[in-house]
Structure 1
């Protein structure tokens, strides 16, 4: 997406690009009807499931399921440049662009294979934490996996910085979001895709945000578990939608969808003039 990027992602800057010498883990996926809306657009919860699956497959390909089997996501960023639609065939490329000893920022780029025109383009980033299966606490990434992940990382001292405010004051609507048995994962937590179900429920009212490029973010503060009575509080703005997932008065997760603006981002070089990135995407900026 250009060169004005940061290894520790910023709420208003493009995600880092794929290094030229990188060899990311690559797989393919066909968009199916179970993951699209009534306009055949690949929904955000469908994208979240793709990210979960490619992560599991990537660990298996690296023989790391025995040493680093359990990861939880603290933040997911989805930059929709051009939405994917049924029945497009997508290429997914996954690599680590920043990490520390216990967590990593993982990039996944989804683009259409043999597009008719520009084609779908979706960039994502996930802040993943390595969890000990015995203690349930963050644990050190195993040495072999760390070495593999760090090969193309811009930063090996990654720190957590929240992007979204947990302050739910000033919301304009609140409604129960009943949980289903199918929303619960093997650890009795609500699975990642369920939060995106909630985002999609309210994003359906905002076709203006879906018409152009947009960024969607979910940050997890505390788990939602089986039996919790979940409420979604929302605030609508001209160019954004904010959501707070609450249990009682406690905020468990925060989400935001914001329209992107096209900007000229200088690239280093003699001319100093912005140029398109190699995949044809425009330079974008998001409002915080």
Structure 2
């Protein structure tokens, strides 16, 4: 596997798990039938649900589920290092890799304990105020608890992706929004955006067979009734300097999630 380079951007190196460490949240559960594709691989949309689930479990374990109940994810970077296969036992670990007073980056490592599969992820989470629905300060004691696994205490948001247009797209297709895709915020749930990625990757099985990085950024919510279109672009090697100097040697595929002319989300897909 060729390593990406840089501490930020699409080629960033993810923080390794500080294990053993008392503040790494560690849980296990079986890989379920509903979470696999036709070949038995843990799908990325299912991994995104696991990332959400362990976040809620950690909040409950830390005693902050009542005081910090609402979070939205702004970006998730997910590395499929080795496919995790059906009938495996998942070991899911979560810890903070950077924070400020209203948001944090949380690392998740998902290991297949029996067969050796591995998914690495990092998500940028924003703490939301229930009344205003806007970013909210975390309590000092909660922030201090997060900071026990990182020294990054001035985390800033910076978008890694820019939208692609319809005029030069490799393909465009509509993605129907279902009632069951909508969550507590009355928006399409984060994991459904990853279903779009899986739908796209179904036409390129060779990408899933190799170490792969997918980065997904959320710009605006998708609502029930929206006509969501997925605008795909393929950037061949040598044309990808826009994504950072470490990616000029590989093909980068992008997906722009659009409702009319409004960009809702962006994804970048490339081999590691």
Q: TM-score, normalised by structure 1?
A: 0.84
Q: In structure 2, what is the Cα distance between the partners aligned to 1:85 and 1:9?
A: 30
Query: Structure 2: how far apart are the matches of 1:28 and 1:217?
Result: 25
CA distances 1:73-104 after superposition (whole Å, capped 9, x unpaired): 00011111101111110111100010001000
The answer to whether structure 1 residue 196 and structure 2 residue 194 are counterparts is: yes
CA distance in 1, matches of 2:90, 2:271: 24
Matched, 1:129 2:141: no
8 Å Cα contact 2:233/2:253 also seen in 1: yes
Question: Which deviates the most, 161-170 or 42-51?
Answer: 161-170
1:62-77 alignment runs, 5 A limit: 62-77=62-77
Relative to the length of structure 2, the TM-score reads 0.89
Structure 2 residue aligned with 1:46: 46
* Alpha-carbon contact 1:131-1:139 (below 8 Å) kept: yes
Aligned to 1:157: 154
1:18 corresponds in structure 2 to: 17
Distance 1:22 1:168 in 2: 45
**Structure 1 residues not aligned, in runs of 5+:** 261-288
Q: Could you give the per-residue CA deviations for residues 222-260 of structure 1, whole angstroms, max 9, x where no partner exists?
A: 111122111111113453321111000111000111111
Unaligned runs of 5+ in 2: 237-250
**How far apart, CA to CA, are the structure 1 residues paired with 2:219 and 2:136?**
18
Q: 2:208 aligns with which of 207, 210, 216?
A: 210
CA distance in 1, matches of 2:182, 2:153: 33
- Aligned-pair distance for 1:130? 0.4
**How far off its partner does 1:18 sit?**
1.8
